[in-house]
Amino acid sequence: MNKMMMGCLVVISIIALSGVYSYNAHPKDTVRIGYLANDQHSSALAIANAKGMFEAEGIKVELQSFNVGADIVIAMAAGQIDVGYVGIAPATMAIDKGMPLKIVGAVNEEGSGIVISKNSTMDNLTDFEGHTMVMPSKGSIQDVLLNYLLQENNISPESIDIREMQTSLMPEAIQSGRIDGYIVWEPYVIQASSGGYGKTFMYSDEIWKNHPCCVIIASDNFMQNNPDKLRKILRIHQNATDYIYSNRNDTSSILSKQFKISFNTEKEVLNHIKFVAVPDEDFRNNSLKIVSIQIQLGYVEHNLTQNEIFDLSYLPSK
């Protein structure tokens, strides 16, 4: 495990064990929601905000963007956010380290992919040996997916130069030849081909069909002190998720402006993400499979149970 990853886990552990929460240090009528900057997986959050769904429910929100999922769980541990749209892998790592939070809803399945240089001659996974591949961060769902893919194909991760890189830097890095490929979330997969500098080697549904990706987390403090607000937020999330599927063109128009990409690119992006709001049985069981992979990688120590990971009691009843 690299120093950055170890540092994040130490910070999470210290904050969680010491109980450092600044719960009363912000306006009590405002819910602070963290999400990943430029992340298509938080599309439901963007739609809810753009369509005034929070205001309609009488909820004031403050949206805070972060670069990687580890930053979101650390911010929650520090009491800086109440709710987070985050990858499931950082969430289970935080729970394993004793941080008081739960997964309270689902956001999406799939939605990532492996991109290689447009001039690359790599045809199969064994061709990656000896080449440089980057991911958003150690411990991310992309990291888990890549290691799972290599494991399933009997390829040693040590045979590939695997590094971390900020997502916004990946396009230039592959264009300049500094890296040979990357595994990342949308829209960076589709933008590589539309931008003419890369091509899709594999979408994440080819690695693991219907794999969990992003989830909604909430701190124990927020759940205990604001149960009605959390129920409203999850109902809004459900409505926004439904809106994505029933209003595809308007969704593409809103998100193309939000994420500063073309309308047609956004429409294509939406075809590669499965938006969900409720973690069904398959989602929950696959989450335990992610934990088992994280244990093998040394990111998680305990065989977490569904009850330790999820609290779905705040979800709206249909």
- The answer to pTM > 0.85 is yes
Per-residue pLDDT of 200-242, as tens digits, reads 999 999 999 999 999 999 999 999 999 999 999 999 999 999 9
Per-residue pLDDT of 259-291, as tens digits, reads 889 999 999 999 999 999 999 999 999 999 999
Q: Which domains does the chain have, with CATH numbers?
A: 3-110+211-309 (3.40.190.10), 112-207 (3.40.190.10)
**Dist. CA 50–CA 138, nearest whole Å:** 32
Q: What mean pLDDT is predicted for residues 186-193?
A: 93
